[in-house]
């Protein structure tokens, strides 16, 4: 019998999940739970580089769990857990750190991008790829679905796994394959840049009513008058509509843009309708799950137990190889 490939990915609970998270990662995670032994974790240790309020981080962790369950994650098919429930991750991260050249971290594109976006240059951000490598390697992950912006970090992970195996002359760590998600273009935020919590330009997955409408109506557009023809391919609103609309709907709306007499306000209202319709079923499921938080917490607890068992089976030979012993 062919062994199922272990699929590993994580998401940070640094704020409310948005449609960029959905189309860039969550949708693929839900689909891939059918394709292997999926381990999906909430990266709360990683979030400490930007979230300073404990109550907020805790609530964000619960919210991410609610979101994933509402959007279709099946805890019978995928192991879903909090990163902090697996202490072996931090243990492995330190060991990998002792093999990591400082020069390798200094080349980190993701680190440079985050500093440019205004985050403080702390050691957590600087060594982020080492902890990410431990996240991946501690479960003997075979496949890691990530966006193009994470490609360098996966290469660092593969490099560190190889360094460890060579240093201790054994196949202790599985060198994972990257699975670059290219199914969608970069999802634009309300200001036209990549949608990101750090930019404050997001559209929430589970927004409702006036707050959601206000966000959609704030999407930046050019100043072309209502009556003039417009280029749909150069417009942020149309780029977002394309995520939700069928091919026929896209063609119909694009024709309205080019004909004139169709304003950006019209397009934003259409986008608002698409968002509401697309996530309506998941929104109702989320509201139901909010009434049973004990179940939600049990999902995390059960997932954490399973993840720890896998991590311990990987970590024990590493302790023996490195001479690290435990007295309990």
Catalytic residues: 114, 194, 197
CA-to-CA distance for 212 and 318, rounded, in angstroms? 49
CA count, 13 A, side-chain hemisphere, 296: 20
Helix (H, G, I), strand (E, B) or coil at 228: coil
- Give the CA distances from residue 10 to residues 55, 149, 161, 235, 275, in Å, rounded to whole numbers and listed in that order: 21, 14, 19, 31, 24
151 contact partners, CB below 8 Å, separation of at least 6? 178, 180
169 contact partners, CB below 8 Å, separation of at least 6? none
Q: Report which of 75, 79, 41, 77 is spatially closest to residue 61, judged by C-alpha positions.
A: 41
- 198-222 CB burial, b ≥16 within 10 A, e <16: eeebbbbbbbeeeebbebbeebebe
CB 62 within 8 A of CB 296: yes
């Amino acid at each position: 019998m062919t062994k199922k490939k272990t699929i590993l990915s994580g998401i940070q609970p640094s704020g409310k999940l948005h449609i960029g998270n959905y189309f860039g990662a969550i949708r693929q995670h839900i689909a891939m739970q059918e394709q292997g032994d999926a381990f999906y974790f909430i990266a709360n240790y990683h979030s400490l580089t930007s979230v300073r309020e404990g109550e907020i981080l805790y609530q964000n962790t619960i919210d991410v769990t609610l979101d994933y369950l509402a959007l279709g994650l099946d805890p019978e098919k995928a192991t879903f857990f909090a990163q902090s429930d697996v202490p072996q991750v931090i243990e492995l991260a330190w060991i990998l750190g002792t093999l990591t050249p400082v020069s390798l971290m200094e080349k980190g594109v993701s680190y440079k991008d985050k500093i440019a976006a205004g985050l403080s240059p702390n050691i957590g951000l600087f060594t982020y790829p080492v902890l990410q490598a431990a996240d991946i390697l501690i479960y003997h992950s075979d496949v890691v679905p990530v966006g193009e912006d994470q490609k360098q970090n996966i290469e660092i992970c593969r490099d560190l796994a190889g360094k460890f195996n060579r240093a201790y002359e054994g196949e202790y760590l599985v060198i994972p394959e990257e699975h670059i998600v290219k199914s969608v273009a970069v999802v634009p935020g309300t200001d036209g840049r990549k949608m990101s919590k750090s930019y404050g330009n997001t559209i929430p997955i589970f927004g409702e009513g006036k707050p959601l409408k206000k966000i959609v109506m704030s999407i930046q557009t050019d100043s072309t008058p209502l009556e003039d023809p417009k280029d749909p391919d150069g417009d942020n609103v149309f780029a977002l509509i394309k995520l939700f609309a069928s091919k026929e709907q896209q063609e119909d709306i694009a024709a309205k843009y080019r004909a004139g007499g169709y304003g950006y306000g019209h397009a934003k209202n259409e986008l608002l309708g698409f968002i509401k319709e697309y996530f309506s079923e998941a929104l109702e499921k989320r509201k139901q799950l909010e009434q049973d938080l004990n179940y939600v917490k049990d999902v995390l607890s059960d997932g954490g137990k399973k993840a720890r068992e896998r991590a311990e089976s990987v970590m024990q030979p590493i302790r023996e190889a490195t001479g690290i012993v435990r007295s309990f």
